[in-house]
Amino acid sequence: MKFNRLEIKLLAACVLYAAVVSCAYADEWTGRDKEIHFVGGAAVAAAVTAATGNEWHGFLAGTGVGIAKEVYDSTGRGTVSGKDFVVTALGALVGAKLTGWTLGPNRVTYTITMNIF
């Protein structure tokens, strides 16, 4: 996977956002909430990767959902958490990569041949 300058800047901005927000609110790294964030990011990333065939697009979509959720929380409807965002982005990375390996051109396939006659 090769990154262009815009993609690197976007990823750096996401990491910076997570670091700043984590300092503002100290929540736990474990718990049901983090599981839901991980699975949500992975599911969105897997769906977009499968639809587009592009792992980077899947990762961006999954991470974008995490950013959108934290922006929604910042309106007073929830608690903003950089850790939630980081866990969502990690889930997006795992979902995009696993889907890419499963559906990509270099995937591992197994076939069984049966000779009946």
Q: Is residue 79 part of a domain?
A: yes
- Specify if 114 maps to a domain: no
20 domain residue, yes or no: yes
- Amino acid 70: pLDDT: 85
66: containing domain: 5-103
Report H helices in the chain.
5-24, 32-52, 55-72, 82-103
Identify whether 108 is part of a domain.
Answer: no
pLDDT digits 0-9 by tens, 14-69: 666 666 555 555 677 777 888 999 999 999 999 999 999 888 999 999 999 999 99
* Residue 34 domain flag: yes
Q: What angle do CA 85, 10, 47 make, to 5 degrees?
A: 60
Residue 59 located in a structural domain: yes
**Tokens matching residue 81:** 């958490």
Distance between CA atoms of residues 28 and 33, nearest Å: 10
Q: What is the pTM of this model?
A: 0.70
How many domains does the chain fold into?
1
